[in-house]
Amino acid sequence: MVDIWSLDGDPLLESEILDDHMVRILARQADTRRAVRRVSEKIAVSGSERRAKALAALMLLAGLRSLAGFIKEMCRF
């Protein structure tokens, strides 16, 4: 078993796959809020059906890292 927090999330930045960016939020990284912003940017350019599912998943994952409030604040803009 591996604790995802022990993994470096930065290599996932290079991926074109949105789900990789979502998983990155759970991994260790220098700037978690920056990672959330990057994921949000990827979600924004995805199709409307994918966008709704991805945003729900982002909120769930962000809640595990106590970032849900940050995401809600970002969505106001």
- The predicted pLDDT at position 76 comes to 66
Contact 24, 39 (CB under 8 A): yes
- Helix, coil or strand: residue 45: coil
Please compute the mean of the pLDDT values over residues 38-51 and round it to a whole number.
Answer: 86
**Amino acid letter at 54?**
A
Please tell me the pTM assigned to this model. 0.70
- The predicted pLDDT at position 55 comes to 84
Determine the structural domain holding residue 9 and report its residue range: 4-75
- The predicted pLDDT at position 36 comes to 81
- The predicted pLDDT at position 75 comes to 67
Please compute the mean of the pLDDT values over residues 29-41 and round it to a whole number.
Answer: 82
More confident residue, 25 or 72: 25
Which residues have a Cβ under 8 Å from the Cβ of 6 and sit 6 or more positions away?
28
Count of domains in the chain? 1
